[in-house]
A and B are shown apart, each in its own frame.
Chain A
Amino acid sequence: MRLSCTVNGMPQQVDDVWEGESLLYVLRERMGLPGSKNACEQGECGSCTVYLDGVPVCACLVAAGQAQGREVGTVEGLAPAGELHPVQQAFLEAGAVQCGFCTPGLLVATDDLVTRSRAEGRKPADAEIREALAGNLCRCTGYEKILDAVRLAADRMAGDPR
């Protein structure tokens, strides 16, 4: 079947999509966007987290056809090519990246959290950060540096250092 949707603001159209495949497969294998990672394929790890109409979801659990006409946002779309989004910069600086496999999903989940908090004119509390990232597993870092990175990103995006 043919699938048309918007990905990172650009209209995309792909043909010969198998009806049973996931949005994750479409992004990685048909659209050349391998940023979203394929790990558990059952919604447990969060490595494939993308925005679907502005809401973070596991791309592995979205049937390709369900994305028809929808807006998809992937980690590749966080910042313009060659630039880093404040969340990405914070992850680098805080040492929140080790093997890097979970990082794309964490970046999208973090972007969602800090964007929502900023819209409400506040910074996320630690408990809120833990809850927001509960669906993203990291087997390297022990999460402390990731929490540092989220706080750093939230500070910067709020415009004042903590």
Chain B
Amino acid sequence: MDFLQPATWEEALEAKAAARDAVPIAGGTDVMVGMNFGRLRPSLLLDLTRVPELQQWADDDGAVRLGAGVPYARVISELGDRLPGLAMAARTIGSPQIRNRGTVGGNLATASPAGDAHPALLAADAEVEVASVRGTRRIPVTEFYRGVKRSALADDELIAAVRIVPPRGPQQYSKIGTRNAMVIAVAAFGLALHPDRRAVGTGIGSAAPTPRRAPAAEEFLAGELDGLWDSRAELPAATATRFGEMVAAAAAPIDDVRGTARYRVHALSVMARRALTWAWADYRKGDPTCA
């Protein structure tokens, strides 16, 4: 096995083009588990922690361009105001030690249905910026997940950044597991209300082969909120309940060691109803980023 530590993005892309089975490593919270347990033996381990651009975020053309290697601890401390949904998701991840190392880029590269960042990225209409020696392209995150731990990333591509437009409305995130810290989600839900475009964004985690949105639930809620955006009136309880049911109906979970499909569906309906109740309360208070 070889170990390469490119100092520039160009070098990293060249290395990936030359060794397509190279495994990129950043925080190592997935890759090193594979290595330690003998499940992963790539010809080349490509350490991306020395590529400066990946460790940075910046405002770019109305969006936050979050470098793929920015650890979750920094998403929380530096972007809690701009990207509240993602920061809420980040707070539920692992432990301090894991959040000090793990990255959104790594979550995307692994593309596990249980990745904690995914529901927040889906709800916020994030874009994934990927690159290779052939060039750079942006993939809407809804099109990024292609199967259990499979993504739209080509074998010569690396994830450069995630682009997220800071929201004009409230965002919420909810995750359920057996305890508060260090758990893989049994189910997770992300919600974004977009009063500027009178739209709703959702993201479901750990309850289908890939992270996915709940389009019918989004459409239903956008319709229900049509008369309420301006009045900021109370949301009928029945609307929140129905929204929860429709989110749960969009899931396609399985029974596994972490929970049953039936439990996941129930949990999703409760989380979606609660997330909406919280988000609408935030919106009524008029604070767009009070997550």
Contact = CB atoms under 8 A, between A and B. Distances in A.
Contact of B3 (A19, A22, A137): A19
B182 A134 contact: yes
Given A18-B1, A19-B45, A42-B37, A135 B29 contact: no
Contacts of B73: 55
Q: Which of B3, B32, B47, B94 has the most CB of A within 10 A?
A: B32
B101 A57 contact: yes
A49 interface: yes
Given A20-B41, A22-B32, A61 B101 contact: yes
A68 B5 contact: yes
Interface string B85-125: 00000000011111011000000000000000000000000
Interface string B1-35: 11101000000000000000000010111011101
Given A20-B45, A22-B35, A60-B32, A43 B97 contact: yes
A22 B181 CA distance: 24
A93 B96 CA distance: 26
Nearest to A137: B182
B239 interface: no
Q: Which of B2, B5, B97, B180 has the most CB of A within 10 A?
A: B97
B45 A63 contact: yes
A41 B2 CA distance: 21
Q: Which of A60, A66, A131, A135 has the most CB of B within 10 A?
A: A66
B2 A19 contact: yes
Contact of B98 (A18, A21, A135): A135
Given A22-B36, A44-B182, A58 B98 contact: yes
B29 A61 contact: yes
A61 B45 contact: no
A41 B100 contact: no
B49 interface: yes
Contacts, number: 91
Interface in A31-64: 41-44, 46, 49, 55-58, 60-63
B32 A135 contact: no
Interface residues of A, number: 30
A49 B182 CA distance: 15
Nearest to A49: B97
A134 B95 contact: yes
A58 B101 contact: yes
B47 A66 contact: yes
Contact of B97 (A1, A63, A66, A135): A135
A136 B182 CA distance: 10
Contacts of B1: 18-20
Given A19-B3, A135-B94, A61 B182 contact: no
Contact of A109 (B33, B47, B96): B96
Contacts of B29: 43, 61
Contacts of A55: 73, 100
20 contacts: A20-B41, A22-B32, A22-B36, A41-B33, A41-B37, A43-B33, A43-B95, A46-B95, A55-B73, A57-B101, A61-B28, A61-B33, A61-B101, A63-B32, A65-B3, A66-B49, A131-B181, A134-B180, A135-B96, A135-B181
Interface of B: 1-3, 5, 25, 27-29, 31-33, 35-37, 41, 45, 47, 49, 73, 94-98, 100-101, 180-182
Given A42-B37, A65-B5, A134-B180, 11 more contacts: A19-B2, A19-B3, A21-B35, A42-B33, A43-B98, A63-B45, A65-B3, A66-B25, A66-B47, A109-B96, A131-B96
